[in-house]
Amino acid sequence: MALPDTGPGRGWLLRLVIAFSFAQGAVSMARPAVSYRALALGADARAVGVIAGVYALLPLFAAVPLGRRTDHGRCAPLLPAGVALIAAGCALSGTAGSLAAVAAWSGVMGLGHLCFVIGAQSIVARQSGPAEQDRNFGHFTIGASFGQLVGPVAAGFLVSEQSGRMGPTSATALLVAAAVAGVSVTSLWRIEHRTGRRGRTPGEAAAARVPVHRILRTRGVPAGIFTSLAVLSATDILTAYLPVIGEHRGIAPATIGVLLSLRAAATIACRLVMTPMIRLVGRTALLAGSCLLAALLCGSIAVPLPVPVLAGVLAALGFCLGVGQPLSMTTVVQAAPAGSRSTALALRLTGNRLGQVAAPAGAGLLAGIAGTAAPFVTLGLLLLVSAAAAARPGGPAPPPPAPDADPGPQREPAGRTAPGPGREAASRGEPRPGSAGSDRTV
């Protein structure tokens, strides 16, 4: 297996973080703007949940094929393709005149985000050594957090809550988001190194064809996928449903934008100190503990808190949610079979998108039945389950095979053909005398 290509310096990582900041900033600006656009077109809480779910519908089916393609070739071409789809989805959502059109173009935006993220995560996995992965994935996700910090604030200030103004101002916010996405292309140069690349050996080529079901059964992969799903579902519903909470509780869109950005700022702070926290408490304890605390904080949003208290809750929640994504990436990459890391990351993203389809749609249903606070209680329960999965990610390790009693292979005497004790022992499932390694199973 080829060693990871760490390349000359880490300039590629800085450029990737900058590009991801603009791409994620555009998406984070567009998501609440899409919700406000839908509200202006007459959507209720249930319809907002369905539209938020459609954002993840196309990526749900495209993630694994894109991951397979990336395992067999270059990652970098996915980045500009993703930017183009994000920009198109944002712009066309802003000009859409019906809820169905808003939902469809939101799905295109989600597909673009998926393309960009699969390509970018695969580059980080491919060009980072095992000891660098926690740090590099943490720094990479700072780009996402920075975009999530700036995007909602920009959307909040562009969207007006005045009667009759929410429709045109939300359209303006979506067109601005499309322009922001386009800026990310300026940093997409010399991201992927070609030095040190070589053809696959037959063993690596076979590993790249590992079936999906085998990857999903690999120890550590399911826990990493589920933790990522829960954390991203919490972030996604916060972004999509905090505007609905704000409307019901009389909180202005600009204030909601600041609250969402406060959560993102806390996530950035978390990822800046990720490495010291891992050294202090260990990866498993950090991941499980952060999910547990996030569950309690998520449930507290269901209570009608004053805005300053809600700000504190969201800041603490953002810090806790900042742990899950980078550590789940590292967990999945290190657990995946050789040559299938991009596919494993794509499966993780498929889990994310499944959560993004089911969680907002379920949230919309719960909001329609039990009120707008109900989705946050459900998220708290989901994060509790993810804390349990993170605490025991792979189950007990299989016991090592018993050592052979024989010092080494021994040759049978020539010409020995008659049945003897060895063949009788073999018929009983016992090791043959004089055959080293015969008590191992493959």
Region 197-222: mean pLDDT is 65
Check: CB of residue 230 under 8 Å from CB of residue 291.
Answer: yes
H or E, element range at 89: helix 78-95
Residue 406 has pLDDT above 60, yes or no: no
pLDDT band for position 81 (50/70/90)?
very high
pLDDT computed for residue 335 by the predictor: 82
pLDDT computed for residue 145 by the predictor: 78
Residue 375 has pLDDT above 80, yes or no: no
Residue 254 has pLDDT above 90, yes or no: no
In the numeric block, the tokens 């292309």 are attached to: 185
Q: Please, which residues have CB within 8 angstroms of residue 431's CB and are 6 or more apart in sequence?
A: 425, 438, 439
Angle at 196 between CA 15 and CA 137, to 5 degrees: 40
What is the sign of the dihedral through the CA atoms of 170, 140, 117 and 63?
negative
Q: Interhelix angle for 99-126 vs 307-335, to 10°? A: 50
> pTM of the entire structure?
0.69
Report CA-CA distances (Å) from 297 to 49, 290, 309, 331: 21, 11, 11, 25
Q: Percentage of the chain surpassing pLDDT 90?
A: 20
Cα 22 to Cα 30: distance, rounded to the nearest angstrom: 12
pLDDT computed for residue 250 by the predictor: 86
Residue 5 has pLDDT above 60, yes or no: no
For the chain, what percentages of helix, strand and coil (3-state, to nearest 5) are there? 75, 0, 25
pLDDT band for position 175 (50/70/90)?
very high
Average pLDDT for the chain: 78
Q: Tell me how crowded residue 68 is: count the other CB atoms within 10 A of its CB.
A: 17
Segment among 119-128, 153-162, 380-389 with least mean pLDDT: 153-162
Region 154-164: mean pLDDT is 80
pLDDT computed for residue 18 by the predictor: 93
Q: Which residues of 361-389 are buried (b: 16+ CB within 10 A; e: fewer)?
A: bbbbbbbeeeebbbbbbbbbebbbebbeb
